Structure 1
């Protein structure tokens, strides 16, 4: 059986909305998502899971209460579970996220930037 190859650049070219992660693959109980971000998100935490950010294009800063982490293309950072953080990007950033199925992008904060599940790119 042939494996399904996921072309991240191709999938990212299919949408333009910001802060709305799209599932592109699944692995065990995890979803692999692509997202476009720009501007500042909301301060939030995920009490039950770590969160991985892998920058594909652009520069992303993950603000933390005890110091910021800035990532460029090909760099990743794992925010430990329960740690409050706020992603921010001056220009448009394309990133990959790996999260357990059902994780809400705004964590414990909720609000208007909360994205619904979107597996339209799988």
Structure 2
């Protein structure tokens, strides 16, 4: 295993809302993702959802409040909690950690495929 340069990995693709796995750790995927605009409301019934903003500003809408994250800030959405990530003020680059195989939409039928880079 070589070291992983997150900036280089993020520069290797341009698609939004399509996480890329850059490493694995104890059964978890370490992923980078570029996002812009709104994702849809969803939840993950069996796992928490970890967001760490590397660049930009992300709103995580919950049914009762909005959590705004800037660079270097993280938030964990508890399992079963409906949420919607929104990048309204331009593109956001993030690091995500999830158990391997977790669908990004909470539903395998509508999830983006897991891509390793």
Report whether the alignment pairs 1:117 with 2:87. Answer: no
Match of 1:81 among 79, 82, 96: 79
Shift of 1:8: 0.5
Give the aligned partner of residue 53 of structure 1.
51
- Which structure 1 segments of 5+ residues have no match? none
CA RMSD of aligned residues (A): 1.3
Give the aligned partner of residue 28 of structure 1.
26
- Which structure 2 segments of 5+ residues have no match? none
Count of aligned residue pairs for this structure pair: 116
- 1:116 partner SS: coil
- 2:8 partner SS: helix
Contact 1:45 1:109 in 2 (8 A): no
Q: Which of the pair is proportionally richer in strand?
A: 2
Query: Scaled by the length of structure 1, what TM-score is found?
Result: 0.91
